[in-house]
Amino acid sequence: MIDILVVDDHALIRKGLIMLLEENPEFHIKGEAETGMQAINMAREHKFDLVLLDISLSDKHGIDVLKQLKSEQPDIKIIVLSMYPEDQYGLRALKAGAMGYINKQSAPEKLVGAIHQVVGGKKYISPALAEQLLSNLIGESQEQLHQSLSNREYQTLCLMASGKSLTEIAEIMVVSPKTVSVYRARMLEKMGFNNNAEAVHYAIAHDLVEAKK
| Tens of pLDDT, residues 138-167 | 555 445 678 788 889 999 999 999 999 999
Q: Is the pTM of this model over 0.75?
A: no
Please determine, for residue 118, whether its predicted confidence score (pLDDT) is greater than 70: yes
Q: How far is CA 106 from CA 103, 113, 132, 212, in A?
A: 6, 12, 17, 18
**C-alpha–C-alpha distance, residues 156 and 152, integer Å:** 6
Q: What angle do CA 5, 104, 19 make, to 5 degrees?
A: 50
Please list, in sequence order, all residues whose beta carbon lies within 8 angstroms of the beta carbon of residue 94, skipping any fewer than 6 positions away. 101, 123, 125, 129
Identify the pLDDT of residue 141.
47
| Main-chain phi, psi angles of 102, to 5 degrees | -130, 130
Stretch 52-77: mean pLDDT: 92
List of domains in the chain = 2-137 (3.40.50.2300), 145-205 (1.10.10.10)
Alpha helices in 139-176 (DSSP H): 151-161, 166-173
Euclidean distance between CA atoms 26 and 1, whole angstroms: 5
